[in-house]
Chains A and B, each alone.
Chain A
Amino acid sequence: MVDDPLVIAGRTFTSRLFLGTGKFPSHQSLRATIEACGTGMVTVALRRVDPTAEEDILDALPPDVLLLTNTSGAVDADEAIRLARLARAAGLPEWIKLEVTPDPRYLLPDPVETLKAAEVLCAEGFTVLPYVNADPVLCKRLEEVGCATVMPLGSWIGSNQGLRTRAALEIIVEQSLVPVVVDAGIGAPSQAAEALELGADAVLVNTAIGTAGDPPAMGGAFRLAVEAGRRAFLAGLPAARSGAEASSPLTGFLST
């Protein structure tokens, strides 16, 4: 949908689907999926990047796709900041997906440390896309310190539970002045469509695609769902109602 581009920090994306890379069966599968899903930005953990290796995960990325390095593994602001600086020193793009997840199980983000790190990294000129809980006030604070997007979670990483935070996401979408990317928890194309329908600007998906039986085919399915969800949002979804509504007005006689 070239006529409806998404712009983040001055860069235009034709696809509203972003891809995580941590759970794919092979680099070939990852590359085929990137092509099939049409994404323009993928995120890779710096902890997985190894330029000295025979076969590095970065080799799987086509040149026209933007690399969004993430700070996976950081437990506090200081570690996240140092990881971002290491990425910069390694010559990687200065787009950082800020992840401060001190709990390695549910990988839930630490709001206090995330805000601290965002403040420093934005001041140092990084383009910062922070992964956060679906907290509307935190999202506004991150926007104020200069983040390029906010990336609230739908549910926790890898859970495939969909938009459990829907009510909060609606508030975030309503209030945000920067693009809202729903990250984490999206387990099926229908859930990605739901995020776009409610007004999110994009989604980031990893587990649902990377662990599918056929990742490239699932990537294609997500591409269609994201496009459908966005078109539905633009077309103006009728509000859901609890009961049936008569199509002929009940009080029409009053105007005659």
Chain B
Amino acid sequence: MTLTPVELESRPAGVPDGTAAADLVATDLAGLRARAAAATGADVERALRAARPTLADFAALISPAADGRLEDLARRARDLTLRRFGRTIHLFSPLYVSNECVSVCTYCGFSAGNQIARRTLSVDEVREEARTLTARGFRHLLLVAGEHARIVSKDYLVDCVRALSAEVPALSVEVQVWDTGTYRRLVEAGCDGLVVYQETYDRDLYAGVHLKGKKRNYDWRLAAPDRGAEAGMRRLGIGALLGLHPDWRLDALAVAAHARALVRRWWRCEVTVSLPRMRPAAGVAGPAAVVGDRQFVQLLCALRLLLPDVGLVLSTREAPALRDALLGLGVTHVSAGSSTEPGGYAAPDGAEPQFEVADLRTPAEVAAVVRQAGFDPVWKDWQRVER
């Protein structure tokens, strides 16, 4: 399959055919949401027993009707996770390179209108941050930046990746979305993974929370993982910001359908899903809905049943007790000791963080907890080969 290369200035409306984004657009999410609302105990029972659960089964598993079956759901999720991933938990760290941003997004601390201290690391400073993190054990780093095409330019990102690729076995990026050609440059520089959260899959709400900037283009963002995969990215991460939508089940259904579509279209890629719950941040409104711990666990376990081989990522937004309890229950990838402030590892100087971190333990402390829970903390699980 070939996507038509497009310049940023001439982004087409809609999503290209033959992409996971197109598959998602064609999915009857409203119908699935209705099934979740109408699900009965019998639907839940059938979904729990299904050898290969469908999206309709997933709808039943996240429904209120499944609440009473949470223990059964958790047991199945644990068994599946163990079988596929073994007694291992992968550790990674975000590395914030810049909090400059021209986009105005109502939920984000980096939003352009917010009066915060802005900072963009030089390539040397990025290297220093990476060395601090590798000294703490990390071998998989996720480069994160706000959206500023001039300050956080494609050339800058390529330079950062190139500077780290010799020292860091696995590199992913979570930055503004780019065209296929830019993703290809990043891959050639040594980037293996692309993380793009759609935040919310509801088009109206999306328009309502992304007030200004390139992030406003819903379709262009939705098809970014497809473009990354086409460019040779090996790991694709997607997610939704839980709490942004008053109806969290709608976004849960969409992210599940999107992940499943990516798995089918880009069958050589490893797909991960992250479901961050909204946290307080500078200048932002609180969540439109509070997803309780019980519902959060229900959702993660249901995702495991639908997608047994997809990595489920948990960040330090979540509190230690919940993070520890979720080990092996479906979650496979955790960050640890994270700072969301650019330069926050090697030389913190008070630049504003993107959101507040709830788990403040060091990587070594988190690794010890992982071990105590009977899992091997895996720091390195990737070996780049030069092409």
Pair A210/B87 contact, Cβ less than 8 Å: yes
Task: Give the distance in Å from the alpha carbon of A24 to the alpha carbon of B85 in the complex.
Answer: 10
**Given known A-B contacts A23-B85, A23-B86, A75-B268, A53 and B379 have beta carbons under 8 A apart:** yes
Task: Give the distance in Å from the alpha carbon of A79 to the alpha carbon of B192 in the complex.
Answer: 14
A24, A50, A83, A106: the one within 8 Å of B376 (CB): A24
Pair B83/A207 contact, Cβ less than 8 Å: yes
Q: Is B12 positioned at the interface, with any CB of A under 8 Å from its CB?
A: no
Task: Give the distance in Å from the alpha carbon of A105 to the alpha carbon of B137 in the complex.
Answer: 27
Q: Is A25 positioned at the interface, with any CB of B under 8 Å from its CB?
A: yes
Q: Give residues of chain B (212-264) contacting chain A, Cβ–Cβ below 8 Å.
A: 234, 263
Pair B268/A160 contact, Cβ less than 8 Å: no
Q: Give residues of chain A (88-104) contacting chain B, Cβ–Cβ below 8 Å.
A: 102-104
Q: Give residues of chain B (81-117) contacting chain A, Cβ–Cβ below 8 Å.
A: 82-88
**Given known A-B contacts A75-B268, A105-B309, A46 and B383 have beta carbons under 8 A apart:** yes
Q: Is A47 positioned at the interface, with any CB of B under 8 Å from its CB?
A: yes
Pair B83/A47 contact, Cβ less than 8 Å: no
Closest to B170 in A: A47
A contact residues around B87 at 8 Å (CB): 23-26, 210-211
* Chain B, interface SS category: loop
Pair A50/B86 contact, Cβ less than 8 Å: no
**Given known A-B contacts A23-B85, A26-B371, A210-B87, A50 and B380 have beta carbons under 8 A apart:** yes
> How many residues of B sit at the interface, in one of the four size bands?
20 to 34
Task: Give the distance in Å from the alpha carbon of A211 to the alpha carbon of B86 in the complex.
Answer: 6
Task: Give the distance in Å from the alpha carbon of A153 to the alpha carbon of B19 in the complex.
Answer: 32
How far, in Å, is A170 (CB) from chain B's closest CB?
27
> How many residues of A sit at the interface, in one of the four size bands?
20 to 34
Q: Give residues of chain B (358-387) contacting chain A, Cβ–Cβ below 8 Å.
A: 371, 374-376, 378-383, 385-387
How far, in Å, is B131 (CB) from chain A's closest CB?
12
Q: Is A22 positioned at the interface, with any CB of B under 8 Å from its CB?
A: yes
- Contact string against B for A residues 57-77, beta-carbon threshold 8 Å, 1 for contact and 0 otherwise: 000000000000000011100
- Contact string against B for A residues 193-230, beta-carbon threshold 8 Å, 1 for contact and 0 otherwise: 00000000000001100110000000000000000000
How far, in Å, is A122 (CB) from chain B's closest CB?
19
Q: Is A86 positioned at the interface, with any CB of B under 8 Å from its CB?
A: yes
Q: Give residues of chain A (148-202) contacting chain B, Cβ–Cβ below 8 Å.
A: 158-160
**Given known A-B contacts A79-B385, A207-B83, A23 and B88 have beta carbons under 8 A apart:** yes
A25, A103, A159: the one within 8 Å of B374 (CB): A25
Task: Give the distance in Å from the alpha carbon of A206 to the alpha carbon of B83 in the complex.
Answer: 10
B contact residues around A103 at 8 Å (CB): 267-268
Q: Is A27 positioned at the interface, with any CB of B under 8 Å from its CB?
A: yes
A contact residues around B380 at 8 Å (CB): 47-50, 53
Spell out B's residues near A (CB within 8 Å): 82-88, 137, 139, 169, 234, 263, 267-270, 309, 371, 374-376, 378-383, 385-387
